[in-house]
Amino acid sequence: MKQTSFPTFYIKHKGVNVLSIPFDSAFVYDEQFLQMTARLNSSTNYGFGEHNHKQLLLDMNYKTWSIFARDVGVVDEWNLYGVHPYFMSVNSMAKSVIGTLLLNSNAMDVHMQPAPYPSVTYRVIGGLFKFYFTIGDTPDEVTQHYTELIGRPILPPYWSLGFQLSRWGYSDTDHLKEVVRRNKEAGIPLDVVYGDIDYMLHKFAFTYDKQNFGDLPDYVKELQANHTHYVIILDPGIGIEKEKIKDINNGTYKALEEGKDMDVFIRSEDGTRLVGEVWPGLVYYPDFTNPITTTWWKSQILDFYNNTGFHFDGLWVDMNEPSNFREGNKAEEECDMESRWNSPPYIPENLLGNSLVDKTICMDSVQHWGKHYDVHSLYGHSMAISTYRALQQIFPDKRPFVLSRSTFAGTSKYAIHWLGDNQSKPGHMTWSIVGMLEFSLFGFPMTGADICGFWFNATESMCQRWTQVGAFYPFARNHNGGNYGGTTHVDQDPANFGPDMIASSRNVLLTRYKLLPYLYTLMYRASERGSTVARPLFFEFMDDDITHDIGKQFLWGPALLISPCLEEDCEKVEAYIPEGIWYDYYGGEKIESRRWHTILTPENQINLHVRGGHVIPWQHPADNTHNSKLHPYGLLVALDYKKEAIGELYIDDGESADPIERGTYDLVSFISTSGKLQIIAEYLGYKSAPNSRIDTIEIYGVERRVSGVEIDEGTITNFTVKQDEILTIKVEDSSFTYLTNHTIRWFSN
């Protein structure tokens, strides 16, 4: 063990020290252990993942977080599926924000120390101390810099913003058909249906069970003909058990045989292929860090798509930490525990299982990028890249849709993420907001949790509340577990509950669909410049210390505040309303700012407030995103203290690859000042929009009772005024579209 002395390294922003690294007193290193302490100028810190953090603001009270990819349920505050050694430090007094990334994939501990000497100590079991710092005036600016560093996130297909249904436990195609039928008949908007491992034969990748799901390829085509997309799961483990393989294609398992021929599987230190155990039984693990493995993976996906008629629209990659069911002593029997790689001198102290090989593969196994010890936490990242490349080949003119459980810094260039195997308990609903907001910090604008919970059975009242908050996850998927571990899971799709739940779910999801133009515009800005979509309140109100520890409310962009009920049978919400003019989304009534409110919240309602100074574009909703895009648009103009508001609308065809680079999109600006609203077509490159008409304009906060309205200097009479300050204009002229600049004026008595 060695220790060295260097002068203290200071990071400054606007002349203020925002972080200092005193190498002279805290840098200790050896081949398998590095330790360093950095003093912080703030105790207000966020990030480090992936964990089940139960609060948004990091606990600085001598708290240790272990970071190492692991397949473990979202239960306690242990390390989870992905690795993001990144945190954001906010100093509102100095008006500075700094993001710090330790680009290292080895297992580590991060230890936080409180004031008066707030600090972070890293203890890492390999690699390098390679730090990157992003500095700015606001959290969103720092996130933009961070995503510029690790790569901008993908712009998702428009259909993937719709509501999605999944479960592990569909017994056959008829079961799936029944779930889809009852939800569509109940008026639940629906865009995506998933196939979990049930559809596979013996749970082998690139197969399907022709006895129970023989008609599934035809049903998928039927779904797609009705504008509903289908996504299938792919796990990395390739089954090797001969008794199961004999049922596959006359005993020939192409993925295995071609994988062996191309030498794509991870090998043990002695040169033999590493064997693990996952859902198919005994498996080999593809080495996605090897370029030849990407070639093999593409080939298997393409072959499955073309030769089975199984025309999926996207891929969901799971178990990619990588997971191994040989946990605890069973794993240690398979691995050489005398090896310094499987039993290093230092093991992160909060690592679940207290062993690096628990529920994963041996650390001394060999991959193209190096020992698994060093690249373990990159497994899901490399698999996401290979899967993204495969979909680019299958759909060369479309955006790939990849959903990955395990992630690393920069995976958002290739995949979106859900928060893993949560439980049907109210606490998990609350924690999901923290997880979603943390992944916003990590550069993942499209994230969400399994709505109503994965494990166990949700009560109707809790599922109703969870569907309300889930309608405002950027990624909104209802997913639950199969019959496993002694628990029989029932379907938890909205239509499987009573009429109150169905009506409530339909209403809140139609609200989501109405707001999709605003959400998609936020996604465009996230992809184009790295801004966040779902964001914590402190992102917009950094100077307000109250917002620093709010993790039960969140924003969509700068303009929409979501304050959900997070308990069963709750009747009211304690919500904080930050500085500014805020309007109730539904009725336009103002609510007093910079104070806490007790808001009565009926079981069929979620609290939404619109921030003055912003224009929110919306669209009349339908039963799916395709049909919604056929409808006219509307504008919600929320005026601030100065009677001003701004906004924008981004539109493209929703699925073509690289629309920004190709210029195949429309971008429209909205500017409201001094009793007028200007609609400005900034760029028009999308030549075939299904509908460009604007038929409704709502203006919250007009100064006095409106007596007249003009559009492009022509007087109109179809307008109403509510409470003397809420103006609704119905535009009957079908030629009134965003494709042409317009000016709307209103006059008061």
User: Which pLDDT value is given to residue 22?
Assistant: 41
Average pLDDT over residues 46-62: 96
What does the pLDDT look like over 103-151, one tens digit per residue?
999 999 999 999 998 999 999 999 999 999 999 999 999 999 999 999 9
pLDDT band at 541 (very low <50, low <70, confident <90, very high): very high
Q: In this structure, are residues 203 and 252 in contact, taking their beta carbons and an 8 Å threshold?
A: no
Strand 450-451 to strand 477-478: parallel, antiparallel, or no bridges (unpaired)?
parallel
Q: Which neighbouring-strand residues pair with 83? A: 408
Beta bridge partners, 97, equal 90, 136
Give the domains, in start order, of the chain with CATH numbers.
2-150 (2.60.40.1760), 238-312+319-396 (3.20.20.80), 531-556+564-607 (2.60.40.1180), 614-748 (2.60.40.1180)
**Residue 717 confidence (pLDDT) above 90:** no
Structure confidence at residue 705 (pLDDT): 83
pLDDT (mean) for 267-285: 95
- Say how many C-beta atoms besides its own lie within 10 A of residue 73's C-beta: 16
**Would you state the torsion angle of the CA atoms of residues 592, 593, 596, 602, taken in this order, to the nearest 10 degrees?**
60
Cβ contacts of 499 within 8 Å, gap of 6 or more: none
- Determine the pLDDT at residue 26: 58
**Nearest by Cα to 637 from 692, 592, 678, 690:** 678
Mean predicted confidence (pLDDT) in 346-362: 84
The fraction of the chain above a pLDDT of 90, given in percent, is 86
Q: Residues 226-255: what's their mean pLDDT?
A: 97
At 514 the three-state DSSP class reads: helix
Rounded Cα–Cα distance for residues 659 and 528 (Å): 11
- Rounded CA separation 735/668 (Å): 16
3-class SS string, 112-157? EECCCCCEEEEEECCCCCCEEEEEECCHHHHHHHHHHHHCCCCCCC
CA distances from 615 to 337, 518, 612 (A): 61, 9, 9
Residue 13 confidence (pLDDT): 57
Above 70 in pLDDT, residue 24? Answer: no
3-state secondary structure of 365: coil
Alpha-carbon gap, residue 2 to 569, rounded angstroms:
58
- Interior/surface letters 673-688, b for 16+ CB within 10 angstroms, e for the rest: eebebebebeebebee
Which DSSP letter does residue 197 get?
Answer: G
Task: Please count the other Cβ atoms lying within 10 Å of the Cβ belonging to residue 580.
Answer: 16
- Pairing type for strands 694-700 and 447-448 reads unpaired
Q: Which residues pair with 673 in a beta bridge?
A: 676
- Please give the span between the terminal C-alpha atoms of the chain, in angstroms, as a whole number: 81
Q: Using alpha carbons only, how large is the chain's radius of gyration in Å?
A: 26
Q: Is the pLDDT of residue 6 over 50?
A: no
Span 295-344, pLDDT tens digits = 999 999 999 999 888 899 999 999 999 999 975 445 556 899 899 999 99
Q: Tokens 């919240």 map to which residue?
A: 601
User: Residues 112, 53: contact at Cβ < 8 Å?
Assistant: no
Q: What is the pTM of this model?
A: 0.96
CB atoms within 10 A of CB 130: 9
User: Mean pLDDT, to the nearest integer, of 348-355?
Assistant: 74
* Predicted confidence (pLDDT) at residue 20 exceeds the cutoff of 80: no
User: Residue 602: how many CB atoms within 10 A of its CB?
Assistant: 10
Which is it for the CA torsion 267, 362, 291, 157, positive or negative? positive
Residue with tokens 């299904």: 690
Q: List for the chain the helix, strand, coil content (%; round to 5).
A: 25, 30, 45
Task: Give the number of C-alpha atoms closer than 13 A to the C-alpha of residue 521, restricted to the C-beta side.
Answer: 22
Across 15-22, average pLDDT: 52
CB 544 within 8 A of CB 93: no
Whether the pLDDT of residue 418 is over 90: the answer is yes
